Amino acid sequence: MKGKSEIRDLARQRIRWLFKLAYDETRKGNYGRARRYAELIIRVAEKGKTRVPRSIKRSICKNCRVILIPGLTARVRIRSEGSKGSHVTVTCTLCGWMKRYYIKAGIYEKKGEGVNKGSKA
Ligand SMILES: [Zn+2]
């Protein structure tokens, strides 16, 4: 029998792999397929009793489940608020859904998981 942590590890691996597939399909314009992968990611997380990593969660449109890629399926606006961090608005260009969140200053250096390179706003 597999241990709980092992199942969780497997779930996390699958999530990362599915996200890569979803991302690739989105880039090819196969939004239907990308959405199916995104739904799988959520289901795998539930079954594996783990959470979808924040960086991945933020890249999935909550409304239509497409992968949000800046310049392709998403419009990203960043407003810097000095030492407090930055305010980010992401708009899904497919369904118009919008979300807003804060990035604390220094988070990119700390985690090294910036979603997009440079500051394309
Ligand atoms: Zn959407």
Q: 1 CA to middle of ligand 1, Å?
A: 40
How much is the pLDDT for 84?
79
Q: 93 CA to middle of ligand 1, Å?
A: 7
pLDDT tens track for 33-58: 999 999 999 999 999 999 999 999 99
Cβ neighbours, 10 Å, residue 120: 9
Q: 5 CA to middle of ligand 1, Å?
A: 33
Q: 59 CA to middle of ligand 1, Å?
A: 10
Long-range contacts, stretch 52-59, CB < 8 angstroms, 24+ apart:
52/15, 53/12, 53/15, 53/16, 55/113, 55/115, 56/15, 56/16, 56/19, 58/90, 58/101, 58/115, 59/19, 59/23, 59/115
The pLDDT-based confidence of 104 (bands split at 50, 70, 90) is confident
Mean pLDDT of 86-109: 84
Domain ranges of the chain: 4-111
pTM equals: 0.76
The pLDDT-based confidence of 85 (bands split at 50, 70, 90) is confident
Q: 30 CA to middle of ligand 1, Å?
A: 14
How much is the pLDDT for 1?
63
Please list the helix, strand and coil fractions of the chain in percent, rounded to the nearest 5, in that order: 45, 20, 35
Q: 24 CA to middle of ligand 1, Å?
A: 17
CA distances from 72 to 39, 68, 76 (A): 20, 8, 10
